[in-house]
Structure 1
Amino acid sequence: MEKKTKIILIVLLALIICGVAISIFSSPSSKNSSGNQTITDMANRTVNIPSDVNRVVATSPPMTTIMYMLAPDKLAGVNFQWTDEELKYVPDQYKEKFPVVGGWFGSQDGNYEEFIASEPNLVVEGIDEGMGVDLSTVEERQEKFGSLPVVAVTDNTNVTEIDNTIGFLGKILGAEDKADQLIGFNDKYLAEVQSTASSIPESERKSVYYASGEDGLSTYASGASHGQLISLVGGKNVADTEIQDSGSELTVSIEQVMKWNPDVIIATDEDFYGKVYSDSKWASVKAVKNHQVYLSPQSPFKWFDRPPGANIIIGVPWTAKVIYPDRYSNINMVDATKEFYSNFYHYDLSDDEARDILTSSGLNESDL
């Protein structure tokens, strides 16, 4: 009997040991015990990343902008230096927080050592095949960054398709609620403008010229992401009428602009906007004669372009009010601006500050 009892005790002890072993090796999983998690990024790559992503840098401004909007405390660096004007609406705790690490966009001035020196635990690479950034680029980045994980995220500059990118980054950053909030804001105004724009007869659509650059003589047609908001809200981009290569920046003459004779001009350069009404070359253009030239708000990120990305979400209602203030009279731009800045730029505007931003862009007080 005693021998039988000993056998039972040995069996029970063995079962207990097995249970402990199973617990150790299966709950939590091995990825959690090492502080990592395995994800599939937006290039369908399997990537092992930290479970707690708390310092992250991106290789291009559109990705950096979204991360600032969703989780600024987790941003470890920015791609370029903010100007004094842009810093006007940046909270004090972030003005000196971020080192400038450069990036691979435009001037292609990225430096791997500077990125690593910012001590991130994750790098985000925006993939955009139209800009030559594809899977091979991501793999090159990963090779150069070594053990520092690189996650590929679709750099979707089309505001009607950017929700998935925002949602993916929200999950990576542990900021799902903020991502959902930004997606909700975007979807609200997209639904508004798409509904209204579809009801505007072709004969009543206003012609619009996007004046890019300090002389106003560069532009984009609707096929380029840079000018997308014009057609989105129901305007007619004048550059569409004669220009076939719609994806690139186009240099035009003042004579061509005069021939187009747009109802509205939208500018993104303060120097051009500051002199257009006094420049005799532009005096005969309908938009100038009728005082219908507008400057995209600039701070802390531009609302219309440069770059196109999540920052132009607030540009959707603004562009609608610029081109068709009567058709979009139900949009309250003061409220929309305050909501966007508070929730996504982390800066609480007063009514006066919001009105100043909007009237400085050329909007009339009565159209806000």
Structure 2
Amino acid sequence: MRKSTISILIIMLAVCILAAGCGPGPGPSASTTPKTRTITDSVGRTVEIPATVEKIVPLGNTPRMITYLGLANKVVGLGGMAADKITPVTAYAYANKDLWANVPIVGTDAAGATDYYPEQIISVKPDVILCSYTKELADEIQTKTGIPVVAVPMGTLFGKDYEDALRLLGDVCGAKERAEEVISYINNSLKDLATRTSNIPDANKPTVLGAAATFKGAHGIEGVYMKYAVFSTIAANDVTKGVSDKAGGVLVDKEQIIGWNPQFIFLDSGGVNLVKTDYTNNPDFYAHLKAVNEGNIYQYPSSTSYYSNVEIPIVNSYYVASLLYPEQFKDIVFKDKANEIFKFFLGTDDYLSKLENAGAGYDKVTLGDK
């Protein structure tokens, strides 16, 4: 009986081995792991991208965004400007100038003229092309290169569409957690600024003007900002309030500035020399301005350089607020706060000194002997 039982077990084991049906089978084959996945970009395009993205070509405003996401080392081709034209005001590019020194330029948006170079893009073999363009242009680039193109919003400064862009880029490039960190940092900074300034009575707020605005190049004092995010973030008493429904830089008649007669004037650093030259040629005009007579003219870096920065406007907001509302910001050491913000976004220590060395720092502006 015992021999019969053993014989039966031996036969059953042999059958199992032959049929490969007994015992645990082999684990999942690596070949079954998906190599691609499908996403929907911001303009509604369905795009098949690699499951893991290691090499990217960012165009439009995406080089700045991927810098904030800590993805600069994945760039194999770049949409941007020649290295010798980069200044610290274009913070993302300046912070990466050594890392990207040998990365080929494969597109440009200089002076609003969008262009890209299909052959050069193909030659660097990216996994994906990132851009902030229209559906039509994204389709065109993908057709000409045969490489997946993901379009994200251009990004309104401090707007939800900027958050959408960061999240989509983080998803595509494997940086979801960092995207949420960046979004939280921006929102927490804006909340801090708003909380400190929200209860200041309007009667206690000095009037301000953002001049020497940067848009399509540098301008003198007649270039002014309307609905300027740096001012609205801190509830500043902006003399241009109600003049226009559109945000951005515009040229105004200089007599209008006399009519506004702000107590403080803040100038983009790139336009300061134009203002100084104008002062030399037209001192009588400036003699009418309270800000000039009381020595309340200051400079800060432009918020805009190759599309809008994010880190510089946040720092600008702290700078302006610390001058307008010193009591509410007395616990802030501006230099430390500025470098903290720059470090978070750019990964660079003491970026403030780089701006200062380029003449684009935060400082009082002297016109003549004023």
Q: Which category describes the TM-score, using the shorter chain as reference length? A: 0.7 to 0.9
How many Å apart are 1:335 and its aligned residue? 1.4
The 3 A distance-change label for structure 1 pair 116 and 340 is: farther
Instruction: Specify the SS of the correspondent of 1:101.
Output: strand
How many Å apart are 1:65 and its aligned residue? 0.9
Cα distance in 2 for partners of 1:339, 1:78 equals 28
Cα distance in 2 for partners of 1:358, 1:231 equals 26
1:252 aligns with 2:256: no
The 3 A distance-change label for structure 1 pair 236 and 16 is: farther
Alignment of 1:91-240 (within 5 A): 93-94=98-99, 96-104=101-109, 106-126=112-132, 133=134, 135-146=135-146, 148-161=147-160, 162-211=162-211, 212=213, 213-222=218-227, 227-240=228-241
The 3 A distance-change label for structure 1 pair 350 and 166 is: closer
Q: Say whether the 8 Å CA contact 2:352–2:361 is kept in structure 1.
A: no
How many Å apart are 1:266 and its aligned residue? 2.6
Match of 1:130 in 2: none
Cα distance in 1 for partners of 2:42, 2:23 equals 40
Cα distance in 1 for partners of 2:261, 2:137 equals 43
Q: Deviations over 1:315-359 (max 9, x none)?
A: 332343354344322332211222233333232228866887899
Q: Say whether the 8 Å CA contact 2:79–2:105 is kept in structure 1.
A: yes
Q: Give TM-score, length-normalised by structure 2.
A: 0.76
Cα distance in 2 for partners of 1:84, 1:219 equals 24
Q: Deviations over 1:122-176 (max 9, x none)?
A: 111225xxxxx3x344333332332x11112222223143334334323433344
Q: Give TM-score, length-normalised by structure 1.
A: 0.76
Instruction: Specify the SS of the correspondent of 2:151.
Output: strand
Cα distance in 1 for partners of 2:151, 2:96 equals 29
Match of 2:274 in 1: 272
Q: Say whether the 8 Å CA contact 2:299–2:364 is kept in structure 1.
A: no
The 3 A distance-change label for structure 1 pair 252 and 355 is: closer
Alignment of 1:284-299 (within 5 A): 284-297=288-301
Instruction: Specify the SS of the correspondent of 1:142.
Output: helix
Q: Deviations over 1:17-69 (max 9, x none)?
A: 99758833xx77442xx3x3333434454422223322222221x32112123
Q: Say whether the 8 Å CA contact 1:156–1:309 is kept in structure 2.
A: no
Structure of larger gyration radius:
2
Residue 337 of structure 1 aligns to which amino acid in structure 2? Answer: A
Q: Say whether the 8 Å CA contact 1:219–1:249 is kept in structure 2.
A: yes
Match of 2:53 in 1: 53
The 3 A distance-change label for structure 1 pair 351 and 47 is: closer
Cα distance in 2 for partners of 1:136, 1:350 equals 38
Cα distance in 1 for partners of 2:352, 2:222 equals 35
Q: Which runs of 5+ in 1 are unaligned?
A: 128-132
The 3 A distance-change label for structure 1 pair 55 and 252 is: same
**Corresponding residue pairs, total:** 342
Residue 117 of structure 2 aligns to which amino acid in structure 1? Answer: N
Cα distance in 1 for partners of 2:177, 2:305 equals 26
The 3 A distance-change label for structure 1 pair 351 and 293 is: closer
Cα distance in 1 for partners of 2:330, 2:279 equals 27
Match of 2:368 in 1: none
Match of 2:341 in 1: 340
Cα distance in 1 for partners of 2:44, 2:220 equals 43
Q: Say whether the 8 Å CA contact 2:132–2:154 is kept in structure 1.
A: yes
Instruction: Specify the SS of the correspondent of 2:49.
Output: strand
Q: Say whether the 8 Å CA contact 1:338–1:354 is kept in structure 2.
A: no
Residue 98 of structure 1 aligns to which amino acid in structure 2? Answer: V
* Bigger mean CA offset, 7-16 vs 252-261: 7-16
Cα distance in 2 for partners of 1:309, 1:16 equals 62
The 3 A distance-change label for structure 1 pair 363 and 16 is: farther
Residue 282 of structure 1 aligns to which amino acid in structure 2? Answer: Y
The 3 A distance-change label for structure 1 pair 91 and 323 is: same
* Bigger mean CA offset, 92-101 vs 182-191: 92-101
The 3 A distance-change label for structure 1 pair 143 and 256 is: same
How many Å apart are 1:72 and its aligned residue? 1.7
Q: Say whether the 8 Å CA contact 2:16–2:22 is kept in structure 1.
A: no
Q: Say whether the 8 Å CA contact 1:207–1:263 is kept in structure 2.
A: yes
How many Å apart are 1:91 and its aligned residue? 6.1
Q: Say whether the 8 Å CA contact 1:163–1:183 is kept in structure 2.
A: yes
Q: Say whether the 8 Å CA contact 1:283–1:289 is kept in structure 2.
A: yes
Cα distance in 2 for partners of 1:265, 1:168 equals 38
Alignment of 1:345-360 (within 5 A): 345-349=346-350, 360=361
